[in-house]
Structure 1
Amino acid sequence: MKKLIGICLILTGMIPTIVNADSQLDVLESKNIFDIEYAADLTINPDGDTIYFVRHYMDIQTDRKLGNIWSVNTKSKNMLPVTTGDHLDFNPILSPDGNKLAFISTRTGKPQIYMTWLTTGKTAKLTNLTSSPSGLSWSPDGKHIAFSMFVEGKPNNPVSLSGKPSGAKWAESAVFIDDVYYRFDGGGYSVPGSTELFVLSADGGTPRQLTNDKFDNSGNLSWSKQSDVIYFAANRSENRDFAPLNSDIFAISVATGDITQITDRDGPDASPIVSPDGKYIAYIGFDDKRKNYANANVYVKQLSNAETVFVSEGLDRSIDAIAWDKNGRNLYIQYDDMGKTVLALQSARTVDKRTILSDKLGGQSYGRPYTGAEFAVSDSGKVAITFSNPQRPADVGLVEKNTTTQLTYLNDDALGHKSLANIEEIWFKSSADGQDIQGWIAYPPGFDKSKKYPLVLEIHGGPVTAYGPHFSMEIQLYAAAGNVVLYVNPRGSSSYGQEFAHSIDKNYPSQDYDDLMSGVDAVIEKGFVDTQQLFVTGGSGGGTLAAWIVGHTQRFAAAVVAKPVINWYSFVLTADFYPYFYQYWFNGKPWDNLEEYMRYSPISYVGNVTTPTMLLTGESDHRTPISESEQFYQALKIQGVESAMVRIPGASHSIYRKPSNLMAKVDYILWWFDQHKPKNEGDN
């Protein structure tokens, strides 16, 4: 943790005064969501002079996120389109010689695998698949591409109705369900089947199925140096439904389909990647202690004798992604640290020997300011990254010799003439126990510290995730409406070490309330907040905390509780990933721990609520089902509290997947807050 010496607040820079230049710029509006773009799915050629990436954009006609593949030269910064069209191209991967680019595209409707020959610019469709492929991976000899794909099984219908007359129109057939996991957020109700591995000739044709069993075999795929074995991660245990994190690394022979288990422990092992010399395999994993959180560590196993080295030992952060350098002596690792995403070079032989290369990664969560990024490594040592700027979504950047350079400016046309919020870091001490807490303040355009402003507290979900100094359309729009916005990483957030995250283990909400209220107090102490205009909102875990807050204080003028958990008992019995929640977030089953479940449920404190509160949730949310919001809404009505409910038709937990849904979310929140601002005499 960052050490604070003698003061409660540390700020990066001075508080802005009056920004006169903003008066010449346009105000950001929710409709501008359709104008933004962001970079993703990076791959870089062996020489490191060309980066290929997906340039995502929002299609206003179809209300969808689409994207095409572009290239950017790392020296000239010149960009060129590789693919075009009103569809989504994604998962580009360069062939080992750098001359061909395989990718997945929806241009003919269902996603298929395509190839572009970069020397000629010719593109061909390689497959006619019945399901969507994922996880493309080239063989080192350039002859094959491996991928995963869902294979539908036979429906399980034990009852067949008889007596239906010819031409009769009966109701749809009843659906029989006996699977543990039967619906997934964003995917709806599942159909029988499993995810299997396939291999496809680089010349196209019919893919060959390598696995054919009841297990889901997916994730990152890595080939042996000889191109005869593929390494993958899967949970192939018989009790996998109720041991949801127990994945291991396996190797499958491309010729025979024989599978060999490489790792074996109680806990997840994932993201295998073979060293350039073929002698080692690196992977990410941890020992499962049934805690709410654990750092994902990096291990290197020697394939000849199974000797394993815990190479990231001593790094109290969770590793998100890894890649070998050309000589196989080091690993590039990505992890979050105090709200930023970091790229470092980690020795593959020496424990705790690493060098930070950049902390400028991020920008892909354009809705809210979450951490998260990508990188891709060239043989030359140049590294492509998604570049983070608090006032822009993800661009493409380059890390070379510890220097980070921004290569693209995808949103300067859309946002360069807009008046945007300045983002400033803040540290303060929690009133609970003096714990150091980090947050960020977004200042409204034209901010004048001599004036008083409404304050919006925006709370992240997870709960073990992290906000940071990254672009957020929601934060920017709240600020554009004239609000000071505070967002905080209370205890339980990631990127501050395992102990900080464990502080909410079987104890959530913990002192998060104290952390958040201390953050509000710290901003108020600066003298520019109207304490009669305090507002609070948050989504998912942030929605849970917002509901908890209004049950514990009346200091807020209004609240918007988005996609929350209101009753942990009912949540565990209706959420899609329920075998995980009851084991990792509580000390057992709901009916055996009723008091514990209800003690941490906001519904238990609804009798204290007087704050005008609006609920907002997607109707197809299977992660925090809308029944949670309905409980709180109806309880508030019984209590006589001013309340409303906004239902987003067809939306899953990820409301922002459709740009117009993100618009609706922000506009409804701002409308609700506006209704509850103090009215001056004569106002309507």
Structure 2
Amino acid sequence: MLKTKRTLALMLPLVALFSTASVAETVKTPLQYDDVFLLEYASAPAPRPSSEEIVFVRTWMDRQSDRRRSRLWTIHADGSQLQPLTANDQNAQQPAWSPMGDRLAYVADGQIHMLWASSGRSGQISNLQFGPSSLSWSPDGQWLAFSMFTPEKRPAPVSLPGKPEGAEWAQAPIYLDSRQYRVDGAGYLPAGYRHIYIMPAEGGTPIQLTSGDYNHGGTISWASDGSALYFSANRRADEHEQPLNSEVYELTIESREITALTDRYGPDSNPQISPNGDWIAYTGFDDRKLAQQNQKLYIMRTDGSAVRRLTGNLDQHISSFEWAPNSQGLFVAFDAQGKGTLAYQPLEGDLNILTDDMGGVAYSRPYTGGQFAVLSNNRLVYTQASTEHPAELAVLRANDSPNTITQLNRDLVAKREIGKVEEIWYASSVDERDIHGWIMYPPGFDANKQYPLILEIHGGPHAAYGPYFAMELQLMAAQGYVVLYTNPRGSTSYGEDFANLIHHNYPSHDYNDLMDGVDALIAKGFINEDELFITGGSGGGVLTTWSIGQTDRFRAAAAVNPVINWYSFVLNADMYTYFSQYWFPDLPWENPEHYLKHSPISYVGNVSTPTLLFTGEADHRTPISETEQYYQALQLRGIDTAMVRVPGASHALHTRPSNHMAKPAYVIYWFEKYREKSE
């Protein structure tokens, strides 16, 4: 047998020339940690007007720089003519075709670039101080609108005397007085706001159209005659007291006059004008101060009149939408039962579901989320999800099956055996509600054997997992573990009521839903009940530390960027004005009992489970001070614990591929340390 294997290995280069499929089936091995550098995914599809060409962003992992890199590629709608458009040394994003399809604007390394389709030449056309976003072409193709952070000069209020000439004093103190002074992923912010600009499409000096102490971002849409822009913003002096209360505005370019077109209490955002120029579609909801509120789809006339809600009684969150070319309806995207769904909503009539396999852009863990765009003849191009690889592009025609047009991860799938994923439903012991989840099996799974189990818990908590590729979970399964991931109460995509079962009550019975999932899997007969492990990130870190304060059934736990003290969290997190109003009934000092009742730190005295803590040092969403509190509490109690601090990492730990690799590697190291060892 050994001789046969060696002979086959020597023959591989020759055999691969003739039968790639059979070779792949023979030599596939489980995923390795550094396979994170093999991952690629498609995003931001941008169809060229009146053409079969589709430009998209192809993201890959640069092993040398340990960075995600993105490049623009082009492909025909039938899957042919796949070609790169931009160079590897450009980090290209945000492709946007001109109305005539003769030029492609995009952003690369913080500047606007232009590619001329006729010549294939491209070049930088801007010289901006900060990176632009939301590129939008004027209808005549003469102008580009975009939003950009605009700094404000704010001299320090104190000038220190006595510094001798040439002296080297300490760096001057930094004076802060803005409410939003830091953001996860960006760190401490300079003074200033995001404003809207226009710039000639051939390049030139940007013209600032908005001003004031407000942030203007998100979707920018042009009036059909090019005289005005439509955008969304929260232009209230007390916006910190009403953090979600945005409106749709019309900005007349010549006069700079800004007029609010909506006026309800709640967010109104993402305005898109119809192709015929008669309607504006937008998303929003009436704010009831609930932790999870689904965005609905609305249309109104361009003067703000005749407001009408579409999508009927759909109890799901509209994540994105785009007008059909004939202006008689809109294509919409939302999640339903953990699956990314695309549908068509006519202006008059019922919603028509088209597909439920959109997703794949959240490749580290199996979160929902995807992107789409409208092709000619009412076809869609979208990011297609799979449990075996990150997002590929697919083209869909109504009443037809999707056609996958890329194979960006063909090399990964050919050489590695990806763990199979199986759907599971079970009843909650709390109230008999149906709870949804998925089982990920290790390569070579044998139902007659006993396996260790990892319960992996999603964050949010108002988010959802689904049947998607998840590198972190696959790497754990590759080490011989069965991995269970579920959508307990509080998860999105099962309706607002299900999501708000934990409103002002988190964690609570979502813990029971998780334990019921473990019990349901144990009942299948292939799980070793003495080798149960638990992990999760962010909200999943909350539920991990909460769970080990309620039960000792797990041999070890790994809590990734957790919150363990809601009182300190609300006063440290970057989104504190939102969290304090929507997640809790009162401010911390007004109701400390409520905060502590739901804080894992309150139950640390019950913990006997060895616990690993893993958090980025630059995490401003769930600051590392939360991890440090729990670590020190466990140390005081003499519980086996370790803390992994990731230098420079924000809440999005997987942004650097090496950190993406380190996270599951440390989790498995910790679990292996406490597994039953055969004598």
TM-score under structure 1 length normalisation: 0.95
| One-letter identity of the residue aligned with 1:330 | G
Tell me by how many angstroms 1:287 deviates: 0.8
In structure 1, the partner of 2:299 is 300
| One-letter identity of the residue aligned with 2:323 | W
The superposition leaves residues 622-667 of structure 1 with CA deviations (integer Å, 9 ceiling, x where unpaired) of 0000000011111111111111100000000000110101111111
In structure 1, the partner of 2:382 is 385
The superposition leaves residues 331-356 of structure 1 with CA deviations (integer Å, 9 ceiling, x where unpaired) of 11100000100010012244xx1101
Is this contact kept in 2: 1:318–1:495, CA < 8 A? yes
| Paired residues for 1:245-394 under 5 Å | 245-304=244-303, 306-350=305-349, 353-394=350-391
Tell me by how many angstroms 1:23 deviates: 6.9
Matching residue within 521, 538, 541 for 1:540: 538
The superposition leaves residues 66-104 of structure 1 with CA deviations (integer Å, 9 ceiling, x where unpaired) of 111001111243301111222310000111111211000
In structure 1, the partner of 2:220 is 221
| One-letter identity of the residue aligned with 1:365 | A
Alpha-carbon distance in structure 1 between the residues aligned to 2:637 and 2:676 = 23
Matching residue within 65, 70, 76 for 1:67: 70
In structure 2, the partner of 1:623 is 621
1:480 aligns with 2:478: yes
Alpha-carbon distance in structure 2 between the residues aligned to 1:76 and 1:341 = 22
In structure 1, the partner of 2:9 is none
Is this contact kept in 1: 2:261–2:303, CA < 8 A? no
In structure 1, the partner of 2:12 is none
Tell me by how many angstroms 1:22 deviates: 6.9
Alpha-carbon distance in structure 2 between the residues aligned to 1:48 and 1:418 = 37
- Structure of greater relative contact order (alpha carbons < 8 Å, 6+ residues apart): 1
In structure 2, the partner of 1:180 is 179
Secondary structure of 1:389 counterpart: coil
In structure 1, the partner of 2:459 is 461
Is this contact kept in 1: 2:616–2:647, CA < 8 A? yes
The superposition leaves residues 284-336 of structure 1 with CA deviations (integer Å, 9 ceiling, x where unpaired) of 00011111010100000022560111112300000000110011110111000
| One-letter identity of the residue aligned with 1:384 | V
Structure 1 spans left out of the alignment, 5+ residues? 1-19
In structure 2, the partner of 1:15 is none
1:644 aligns with 2:642: yes
Alpha-carbon distance in structure 2 between the residues aligned to 1:169 and 1:139 = 52
Secondary structure of 1:293 counterpart: coil
In structure 2, the partner of 1:140 is 139
Is this contact kept in 2: 1:563–1:626, CA < 8 A? yes
Alpha-carbon distance in structure 2 between the residues aligned to 1:452 and 1:166 = 75
In structure 1, the partner of 2:6 is none
Alpha-carbon distance in structure 2 between the residues aligned to 1:347 and 1:433 = 38
Tell me which moved more, 32-41 or 374-383: 374-383
In structure 1, the partner of 2:10 is none
Is this contact kept in 1: 2:609–2:639, CA < 8 A? yes
Tell me by how many angstroms 1:401 deviates: 2.3
Tell me by how many angstroms 1:212 deviates: 2.0
Q: For residues 48 and 498 of structure 1, do their structure 2 counterparts lie closer, same or farther at Cα, with a shift above 3 Å needed? A: farther
Alpha-carbon distance in structure 1 between the residues aligned to 2:651 and 2:262 = 34
Tell me by how many angstroms 1:143 deviates: 1.1
Is this contact kept in 2: 1:420–1:476, CA < 8 A? yes
| One-letter identity of the residue aligned with 1:74 | A
Is this contact kept in 1: 2:262–2:304, CA < 8 A? no
Q: For residues 48 and 605 of structure 1, do their structure 2 counterparts lie closer, same or farther at Cα, with a shift above 3 Å needed? A: farther
Q: For residues 629 and 76 of structure 1, do their structure 2 counterparts lie closer, same or farther at Cα, with a shift above 3 Å needed? A: closer
In structure 1, the partner of 2:206 is 207
Matching residue within 383, 397, 403 for 1:400: 397
Alpha-carbon distance in structure 1 between the residues aligned to 2:463 and 2:528 = 30
In structure 1, the partner of 2:53 is 50
In structure 1, the partner of 2:559 is 561
Matching residue within 79, 83, 89 for 2:86: 83
Alpha-carbon distance in structure 2 between the residues aligned to 1:37 and 1:369 = 15
1:97 aligns with 2:95: no
The superposition leaves residues 146-171 of structure 1 with CA deviations (integer Å, 9 ceiling, x where unpaired) of 00000100125111111100111111
In structure 2, the partner of 1:11 is none
Aligned length: 656
The superposition leaves residues 358-393 of structure 1 with CA deviations (integer Å, 9 ceiling, x where unpaired) of 111100001100000000112421211001111110
> Could you list the runs of 4 or more consecutive aligned residues of structure 1 that deviate by over 4 angstroms after TM superposition?
20-23
Secondary structure of 2:370 counterpart: coil
In structure 2, the partner of 1:523 is 521
Alpha-carbon distance in structure 2 between the residues aligned to 1:232 and 1:379 = 26
Is this contact kept in 2: 1:22–1:445, CA < 8 A? no
Is this contact kept in 2: 1:428–1:436, CA < 8 A? yes
Is this contact kept in 1: 2:105–2:114, CA < 8 A? yes
The superposition leaves residues 507-564 of structure 1 with CA deviations (integer Å, 9 ceiling, x where unpaired) of 1012111100000011111110011111000000000000000000000010000101
| One-letter identity of the residue aligned with 1:120 | S
Tell me by how many angstroms 1:181 deviates: 1.3
Secondary structure of 2:352 counterpart: strand
Alpha-carbon distance in structure 2 between the residues aligned to 1:416 and 1:286 = 46
| One-letter identity of the residue aligned with 1:545 | L
Alpha-carbon distance in structure 1 between the residues aligned to 2:396 and 2:49 = 15
Alpha-carbon distance in structure 1 between the residues aligned to 2:465 and 2:169 = 51
In structure 1, the partner of 2:237 is 238
Tell me by how many angstroms 1:194 deviates: 0.7
Is this contact kept in 2: 1:48–1:74, CA < 8 A? no
Alpha-carbon distance in structure 2 between the residues aligned to 1:419 and 1:85 = 29
Alpha-carbon distance in structure 2 between the residues aligned to 1:594 and 1:607 = 19
Is this contact kept in 2: 1:112–1:128, CA < 8 A? yes
1:654 aligns with 2:646: no
Is this contact kept in 2: 1:620–1:652, CA < 8 A? yes
Give the root-mean-square deviation of aligned CA atoms: 1.3
Secondary structure of 1:240 counterpart: coil
In structure 2, the partner of 1:668 is 666
Alpha-carbon distance in structure 2 between the residues aligned to 1:48 and 1:611 = 60
Secondary structure of 2:112 counterpart: strand
Tell me by how many angstroms 1:670 deviates: 0.6
| One-letter identity of the residue aligned with 2:485 | Y
In structure 1, the partner of 2:19 is none
In structure 2, the partner of 1:16 is none
Alpha-carbon distance in structure 2 between the residues aligned to 1:585 and 1:680 = 46
| Paired residues for 1:598-617 under 5 Å | 598-617=596-615
Is this contact kept in 1: 2:79–2:406, CA < 8 A? no
Alpha-carbon distance in structure 1 between the residues aligned to 2:410 and 2:376 = 31
Alpha-carbon distance in structure 2 between the residues aligned to 1:401 and 1:355 = 9
Is this contact kept in 2: 1:542–1:564, CA < 8 A? yes
Is this contact kept in 1: 2:25–2:414, CA < 8 A? no
Tell me by how many angstroms 1:48 deviates: 5.2
Alpha-carbon distance in structure 1 between the residues aligned to 2:26 and 2:57 = 35
Secondary structure of 2:169 counterpart: coil
Alpha-carbon distance in structure 1 between the residues aligned to 2:79 and 2:395 = 12
Alpha-carbon distance in structure 2 between the residues aligned to 1:213 and 1:425 = 51
Alpha-carbon distance in structure 1 between the residues aligned to 2:303 and 2:637 = 68
| One-letter identity of the residue aligned with 2:368 | T
TM-score under structure 2 length normalisation: 0.95
Alpha-carbon distance in structure 2 between the residues aligned to 1:345 and 1:320 = 14
